[in-house]
Structure 1
């Protein structure tokens, strides 16, 4: 525990939530990828099912953890955070926001009357992607606030909108 505290600059017990929650999310993602691969290779409902899931899941888990630690190192100087555990919170916010905005884009397009079966794919997908963008912007700041990183994500939003030529939208 002492190593974990010093490695991630944890000063209060509630900050342990982020490394633990991040590890759980990575494990769930690795499991989901292993299950998808299992079905891809038609190994479901076989003797090898759980062995395959365990081996691929553990391999993916360690591969993703190694990748994220590498990303933390690369972004440490670029992103101004006071403590290292905040990097985990920021990654969690990006992951949750991307997933939820992608999932919400489908129901929103249907609510607008744009259905994949009735409209050409050349129209449907650009419209759906254009709908994801504003959803993503709003959700990013919202989830950033929920995870205690509002200041980081608000400045991130302003920078991103200015670079896209939409800086006039933010006062």
Structure 2
């Protein structure tokens, strides 16, 4: 299974793959900590309406995850990989939004 990741991401060593997977796992947890902190600052609580929580969740979580992915990846020596990954991810999001905009 891990060799599929190595081929897809054009990675040569197992160590680099382990570092990249570690960055993804740490970033997910860190993004949730950021979300919790921001929700606390804004005053969002358990009983707050989902109509407020869900959009705010997306507005906070998506950019913070992308930013943290680059920062943590850079600190662990994988800046080039994560910069290319970010460009590809953002490019896909932009293409999707353009397609949905053109349909309307």
TM-score bucket (shorter structure)? 0.7 to 0.9
**Which structure has the highest helix share of the two?**
2
- 1:76 corresponds to 2:6: yes
- Deviation string, structure 1 residues 75-133 (Cα, Å, up to 9, x no partner): 1210022322100000000000001101220111221233333x212321331133110
- 1:157 corresponds to 2:86: yes
Which entry has the higher C-alpha Rg, 1 or 2?
1
Unaligned regions of 5+ residues in structure 1, if any? 1-69, 167-171
RMSD across aligned positions (CA): 1.6
Partner residue of 2:16 out of 86, 89, 113:
86
Length, aligned pairs only: 95
Q: Which moved more, 1:107-116 or 1:95-104?
A: 107-116
* Larger relative contact order (CA 8 Å, sep ≥ 6): 2
Query: Retained in 2: the 8 A contact 1:106–1:128?
Result: no
Q: Shift of the alpha carbon at 1:73? A: 2.0
2-side partners of 1:126 and 1:73: how far apart? 37
1-side partners of 2:33 and 2:54: how far apart? 14
1-side partners of 2:63 and 2:42: how far apart? 15
- 1:126 corresponds to 2:51: no
Unaligned regions of 5+ residues in structure 2, if any? 96-104
1-side partners of 2:71 and 2:13: how far apart? 21
Partner residue of 1:143? 72
Partner residue of 1:115? 45
2-side partners of 1:73 and 1:112: how far apart? 44
